[in-house]
Amino acid sequence: MTLRRMETAQAEVASVNRNDEYSFTKPARDEIVLVAGLGVDGDMHAGVHVRHRSRVRVDPTQPNLRQVHLIHQELFTDVAHKGYEVRPGDLGENVTTCGLDVLGLPVGTILRFGPEPHGEAASPPAPDGGGTGPASHARAGGTPDGGALAPVLAAADAATLNEPTARAAEAVRAAIARETAAEGSRGVDPRPALVVAGLRNPCQQINTFRSGLLKEVVGHDENGGLVRKGGIMAVVLRGGSVRPGDTISVELPPHPHAALEPV
């Protein structure tokens, strides 16, 4: 199977952020640990079912396709020109990226962190996933067949989903299938990896954080369509540590590509 890669040499992690309490902002950390099928270890938004409080109030049985939040650092530069100081983690993202057009990624894109493995670095799939608990699961990179995401997809099957969420769940399912097929030829890529599920829907909390900032995070295109600039949401395909300075590799899904929608 041939994977479509977008080689973005300058794309890297600018900051990693985590909060073990419900709060709009997330403090910057030296590293975060991704746990396959759950999210960021120790973060309040990690879990199989939706964890954001506004979503929990509506339907706590919804699948958590918002396990990891990413924002492009370039947004902070843009709003700084309008007089708003925003630092990594201030808008609640787990990963602040640099040099990557996150908003332009199609749903189902796989993002990998760290240098590409060569030769012996790639290993055959491990039947047991390399461990028994969440911590060992993350260190070993999770299950090679996407089994760690099975509970999330089961939650999606059991819940009543709106159309964008249903499409996102199917894109995640397809990404897992691609990963499984690819591993049959190249072995396991041990790098921490995410599957992009959709857009973050900017909310009034942004104005609570900085009065007037919301209008800079939501805009309109030349056709009058709504443009959401508050980053993207992803699920964890393979666990592991992510640190500032890690490179980001992009693997696009097959054509036709589908644009991101709010999840």
Per-domain boundaries in the chain: 4-252
Q: Report the predicted TM-score, pTM, of the whole model to 2 decimal places.
A: 0.88
Residue by residue, pLDDT tens for the chain (263 residues) are 444 555 444 799 999 999 999 899 999 999 999 999 999 999 999 999 998 767 767 789 999 999 999 999 999 999 999 999 999 999 999 999 999 999 999 999 999 999 988 755 555 544 433 333 343 333 344 444 469 999 999 999 999 999 999 999 999 999 999 999 999 888 999 999 999 999 999 988 999 999 999 999 998 888 888 999 999 999 999 999 999 999 999 999 999 999 999 99
Q: What are phi and psi of 19, to 5 degrees?
A: -140, 130
Whether a cis peptide bond, with omega within 30° of 0, leads into 164 is no
136: DSSP letter = H
Reading the block at residue 192, the tokens are: 């921490």
Q: Tell me: domain 4-252, CATH 3.40.50.150, correct? A: no
Spatial distance between the Cα atoms of 118 and 39, rounded to a whole number of angstroms: 27
* Contact of 13 with 98, CB cutoff 8 Å: yes
Angstrom CA distances, 244 to 14, 73, 146, 241, stand at 5, 12, 26, 10
pLDDT of residue 27: 97
* Contact of 143 with 132, CB cutoff 8 Å: no
